[in-house]
Amino acid sequence: MIEKRNFYINGEWVAPIDARDCEVIDPSTEEPCAVISLGSAADADAAVAAAKAALPGWMATPVEERIALVEKLLEIYMERGEDLAQSMSIAMGAPIDLARTQQVGAGSFHLKNFINAAKKFQFDRPLDEKYPNDRIIYEAVGVAALITPWNWPMNQITLKVGAAAIAGCTMILKPSEESPLDAMVFAELVDAAGFPKGVFNLVNGDGTGVGTRLSGHPDVDMVSFTGSTRAGIAISKNAAETLKKVHLELGGKGANVVFADADEKAVKRGVLHMMNNTGQSCNAPSRMLVQSEIYDQAVEIAAEVASKVAVGSAHDEGNHMGPVVNKTQWEKIQGLIQKGIDEGARLVAGGPGLPENFNKGFYVKPTVFADVTPDMTIAREEIFGPVLSIIKFDTEEEAITIANDTEYGLTNYVQTQDPARANRMARVLRSGMVEMNGKPRSAGAPFGGMKKSGNGREAGIFGIEDFMEIKAVSGWTPE
């Protein structure tokens, strides 16, 4: 069993102030795979004090040097990719090949993009040519608390740490207690890259303990949070007392609007996207809206594609779907599948219970419901599992109404071969991102949502900007 009880504070691995062991459960086997400590308010305070002490020096470090340290971090990240993949796979259940490629790959992609974006950005510049005595200076927000979820651990951690470091913030990372091992490997990489003491600190803990302490701490200037809408609301309330900046990346209930003229692979692509990472993605296209002319055919294809998705252990190599993260999520997903049945949706693939040939592990059958109506629970709640809801529509207007009829607004998807319609849809869908015809967003594009999906933007220059204040100076003497 892996034992990793210490925290990384002020450049050292230190024992928790009050010991509180927590077992990490391998979702493929339901067996404990590691023991960590859950920190206390005192541990959080120690990390905040270290970050606060390191702030003036780090802010004063020229941005070129901060970028160079992130470049070094990226180099070491690439060398330790296998350790990161193994530690994610065992704790949160991503099949090892998915962990090696998509999960680890997301982290290196983001670090690279931050480096490229920062090299082009003017952190200190005149307001414009007409006003040389007005200066715009981008400066770090200050001490940042970074609270991350378990579903795409390295994606989330690099999005926050890379941006905060380049912006000049010092930080305390509190990773999810469900996937703490990868974060601890990441802390080793930061240490090896040679960041000054106190710039990066890591304290494990749960939401009510370390999470709450950090979001309410008077010496924390910003909380950057990715996770559930429930926790985002709690954090915002707690942070309000100290009026700190709160950056939120929350849940989603993305619509994937498939028009009758969509390309022939659109439905299959949508189903596989839904099942990727066992449906545990905030931007999952979980509501497939299909135009009536192709509805029956689309349902048939979706059922067939889902029924062919293999399910297996995260330890096995190959292109299969792993378990969901834990028992609580498994039970929640089972409850929602049952609710779909009870509320009258038509089950066309998967369903309740463990998949065939499994008697333990948090495995879920790849599930598809047809004839879902927008008022059903499975069309409204984020399921965060491999469950797709198919909804029929007739007209473009109706599709827009259904797609926007959600409290979330993270990513929507459009499938049509009519470019004018695609562009019209992109303008009216109320979400931070719209992806059309399977084309992914390019390097440096911002990631983030509207409504209850949050208010922040991560990745590229947008992500760095979120960790900076804009200072306007008048009476500046050009140098």
Distance between first and last Cα of the chain: 59
**Distance in angstroms (rounded) separating the CA atoms of residues 162 and 152:** 16
Residues 6 or more apart from 2 whose CB is under 8 A from it? Answer: 24, 33, 34, 35, 181
Position 190 contacts ligand NAD (CB under 6 A): no
Q: Which amino acid is at 71?
A: E
- Convert residues 226-265 into a mask of x (bound to ligand NAD by CB under 6 A) and - (unbound): xxx--x--xx-------------xxxx-------------
Position 37 contacts ligand NAD (CB under 6 A): no
Q: What is the CA radius of gyration of the chain?
A: 23
Token pair recorded at residue 295: 């509805």
Cα angle 369, 372, 377 (rounded to 5 degrees) comes to 95
Token pair recorded at residue 390: 């198919």
**Distance in angstroms (rounded) separating the CA atoms of residues 285 and 367:** 14
Position 355 contacts ligand NAD (CB under 6 A): no
Q: Do residues 360 and 93 make contact, with C-beta atoms less than 8 angstroms apart?
A: no
If the CB atoms of residues 141 and 239 are measured against ligand NAD, the closer one turns out to be 239
**Distance in angstroms (rounded) separating the CA atoms of residues 342 and 48:** 49
If the CB atoms of residues 171 and 299 are measured against ligand NAD, the closer one turns out to be 171
Task: From 180-188, 224-232, 255-263, 304-312, give the range in contact with ligand NAD by CB under 6 A.
Answer: 224-232
Among candidate residues 259, 310, 290, the one with its CA nearest the CA of residue 417 = 259
Position 385 contacts ligand NAD (CB under 6 A): no
Q: Closest separation between CB of residue 247 and ligand NAD, Å?
A: 10
Q: Closest separation between CB of residue 435 and ligand NAD, Å?
A: 14
**Distance in angstroms (rounded) separating the CA atoms of residues 219 and 236:** 16
Q: Which residues within the stretch 288-317 sit at the binding site for ligand NAD (CB under 6 A)? A: none
If the CB atoms of residues 58 and 435 are measured against ligand NAD, the closer one turns out to be 435
**Distance in angstroms (rounded) separating the CA atoms of residues 430 and 409:** 6
Position 384 contacts ligand NAD (CB under 6 A): yes
Which one among 282, 303, 364, 379 touches ligand NAD, defined by CB under 6 A?
282
If the CB atoms of residues 257 and 282 are measured against ligand NAD, the closer one turns out to be 282
Strands, DSSP E only, in 72-229? Answer: 124-126, 135-140, 143-147, 170-174, 200-202, 222-226
If the CB atoms of residues 235 and 333 are measured against ligand NAD, the closer one turns out to be 235
Q: Closest separation between CB of residue 476 and ligand NAD, Å?
A: 37
Task: From 76-84, 211-219, 287-295, 388-396, give the range in contact with ligand NAD by CB under 6 A.
Answer: 211-219
Q: Do residues 198 and 32 make contact, with C-beta atoms less than 8 angstroms apart?
A: no
**Distance in angstroms (rounded) separating the CA atoms of residues 306 and 349:** 6
- Convert residues 145-164 into a mask of x (bound to ligand NAD by CB under 6 A) and - (unbound): --xxxxxx------------
Token pair recorded at residue 212: 């709450």
Task: From 91-99, 209-217, 342-350, 369-377, give the range in contact with ligand NAD by CB under 6 A.
Answer: 209-217
Strand 468-473, strand 135-140: pairing:
antiparallel
Which one among 11, 211, 409, 463 touches ligand NAD, defined by CB under 6 A?
211
Q: Which residues within the stretch 163-182 sit at the binding site for ligand NAD (CB under 6 A)? A: 174, 176-177
Region label for 288, one of left (φ > 0), alpha (ψ between -120 and 50) or beta (otherwise): beta
Q: Coil, strand, or helix at residue 59?
A: helix
Q: Which amino acid is at 258?
A: V
Position 222 contacts ligand NAD (CB under 6 A): no
Q: Which residues within the stretch 364-383 sit at the binding site for ligand NAD (CB under 6 A)? A: 382
Which one among 215, 277, 406, 415 touches ligand NAD, defined by CB under 6 A?
215
Q: Closest separation between CB of residue 458 and ligand NAD, Å?
A: 7
If the CB atoms of residues 288 and 433 are measured against ligand NAD, the closer one turns out to be 433
If the CB atoms of residues 137 and 450 are measured against ligand NAD, the closer one turns out to be 450
Q: Closest separation between CB of residue 452 and ligand NAD, Å?
A: 10
Position 40 contacts ligand NAD (CB under 6 A): no
Tokens 């927590």 sit on residue: 22
Q: Closest separation between CB of residue 206 and ligand NAD, Å?
A: 5
If the CB atoms of residues 100 and 452 are measured against ligand NAD, the closer one turns out to be 452
Greatest Cα-to-Cα distance within the chain, rounded to the nearest angstrom: 74
Q: Closest separation between CB of residue 429 and ligand NAD, Å?
A: 16
| Residues known to be catalytic | 249, 282
**Distance in angstroms (rounded) separating the CA atoms of residues 420 and 173:** 44
**Distance in angstroms (rounded) separating the CA atoms of residues 125 and 129:** 10
Phi and psi for 283 in degrees, rounded to 5?
A: -100, 20
Q: Closest separation between CB of residue 198 and ligand NAD, Å?
A: 22
Q: Do residues 223 and 247 make contact, with C-beta atoms less than 8 angstroms apart?
A: yes
How many residues make contact with ligand NAD (CB under 6 A)? 31
Footprint of ligand NAD on this chain (CB under 6 A)? 147-152, 174, 176-177, 206-207, 211-212, 215, 226-228, 231, 234-235, 249-252, 282, 382, 384, 410, 449, 453-454
